[in-house]
Amino acid sequence: MATATLEQPIVVSTGRCCPPVAASPDVSEAEAATYAEWFKALADPTRIRILNLLARSEEPICVCDIVDHFPLGQPAISHHLKILRDVRFVLAERRGTFMYYRVNANCLAAFPDTARRILNQ
């Protein structure tokens, strides 16, 4: 299909096998890369369960207690927490020698909107 691209708002007959794609604003390459980063942060069972653990707690949880919930070492858990921190799905706060983690409700609330954006709804 040579004539119609996502960037061209004009609907053009392709002369091929498919009808043309409607060409209103699409998910850009940069936008897709951002969403992919978010999903990548969630693409691990341990991180899903860490998020769930934090979400289920009224209070922030320190790393040592998170470690106790999983059959992984402290460095592995810290590694997963860093990935969740980098995309701002969790927030960290120091109290003495302890680091306390909690979910970032603001960031995760935007999640259904992301799905709607991708699905053009």
Among the listed residues 15, 87, 81, 4, the one whose alpha carbon sits nearest the alpha carbon of residue 49: 81
Q: How far apart are CA 77 and CA 65, in angstroms?
A: 11
Which structure tokens are listed for 112?
A: 């259904």
91 is a site residue for a copy of itself (CB under 8 A): no
23 is a site residue for DNA (CB under 7 A): no
Among the listed residues 86, 68, 90, the one whose alpha carbon sits nearest the alpha carbon of residue 77: 68
Quick one: what does residue 90 bind among DNA, a copy of itself, none, with the CB cut-off 5 to 8 Å set by partner type?
Answer: none
Among the candidate windows 7-15, 19-27, 92-100, 106-114, which touches DNA by CB under 7 A? 92-100
Among the listed residues 105, 118, 93, the one whose alpha carbon sits nearest the alpha carbon of residue 39: 118
Based on CB atoms, which residue is closest to a copy of itself, 57 or 78?
57
Q: Applying CB under 7 A, which residues contact DNA?
A: 17, 40, 43-44, 46, 62-64, 67, 71-76, 78-83, 92, 94, 96-99
